[in-house]
Amino acid sequence: MDSGRWRRGAVSRGMLPLLALHAVNEYYRLPWKPPVTACLLAANTLIYLRPSFLDSLLPFVDEVWFNPHLILKNKDMKRFFLSVFYHVDESHLVYNMMSLLWKGIQLETSMGSTEFASMVVALLGLSQGITLLLAKSLLVFFDYGRPYYSEYAVGFSGLLFAMKVVLNSHSENFTNVHGLIVPARYAAWAELILIQMFVPRVSFLGHLGGILAGILYLKLKGSYSGPNPLTTIIRELTSLLRWPVRFIRNTFRLRRRRILGQGTVGGGERRSLSGTWRCQACTYDNSDWLSNCEMCGTSRSSESGGLSWQVSRRSRDLSLEELRRRRVERFG
């Protein structure tokens, strides 16, 4: 999460192509491609690039800065939720997305896409809510309004700190945090202090809120034995969204079968197939709505309540090779 004023018209440093290349390379090597992580990467990048087809739909950054004073004064939930997906410049975006790629792949692969998506939603709400609560508490109890209560901040890093806490919660290993070797479970705290020392313009409160959100999420998850309600909701929504896709796919398959024909050629045994009739000239099973054989052109007629076939001498004399040739010509 970065604080400060928005710099319009930032010149590209050529880092986005490197991000794209790195992401494609990482996904290419994976046997299973985590879809939620890919969607988060795409959403953050598209919002930063702001292509013309999204320009009218996306609010400007001035409308979504995370500012505790404006959120509480105007009950502005747009700032509360959308500020996470905005970045002040290219280096800010690329640094966060590189971190998201690494953490997202590990977490989503280990817990599954539905569980990972529900965790991201929960961490987003918790981290933003805790940050807001901390800023208000500093104002009320310590009369410390600036810079925390009135600061403007955007970025995905608060959520990344929360994900780091979840990822390293059960790790017994050591990790390298900007050259400092620390136990993995304390890596988020070490990174919080080091980043604040060397990059003072970042949002300390936003990063701290992310760490506390990760700890609270683990506590809540450990104390609740039932199914995660967010996971259940997301699973149901996913199933609901997949239904139109399945319907269209099944309709397309049915239509394709009808276009290509339903029957088979050959065999002297007559089988009872629903909605089909067998040509007596070439033994091809045709759809019931056809009056002439698709294969050889022999007509079908109804006499005395039963079915009979008028077989022409010409169709009887056709060889199997000729029948195959005509079918190829008929269906391309």
Strands 2-3 and 153-154: antiparallel
Strands 180-183 and 276-278, bridge-based pairing: unpaired
**195 closest CA partner among 165, 158, 163:** 158
Q: Is the pTM for the entire model greater than 0.85? A: no
**What is the rounded average pLDDT of the residues 275-280?**
74
Burial class (CB in 10 A: 0-12, 13-18, 19+), 84: buried
**Element housing 176 (H / E):** strand 174-177
Q: What is the pLDDT of residue 289?
A: 66
Active-site residue (options: 207, 225, 291, 299): 207
pLDDT the model gives residue 3: 64
157 tagged catalytic = yes
Q: Is the pLDDT of residue 97 over 90?
A: yes
CA–CA distance, 159 with 188 (Å, rounded to integer) = 12
Chain segment 49-93, per-residue pLDDT in tens: 999 999 999 999 999 999 999 999 999 999 999 999 999 999 999
Distance CA 69, CA 183 (A): 37
* pLDDT for residue 11 is more than 50: no
Which residues sit opposite 296 in a β-bridge?
A: none
Provide CB contacts within 8 A for 49, sequence distance 6+: 16
Name the band, by pLDDT with cuts 50, 70 and 90, for residue 310. Answer: very low
Per the residue annotation, which of 157, 299, 308, 315 is the catalytic one? 157
Q: Answer yes or no: 207 catalytic.
A: yes
Residue 52 dihedral angles phi and psi, to the nearest 5° = -60, -35
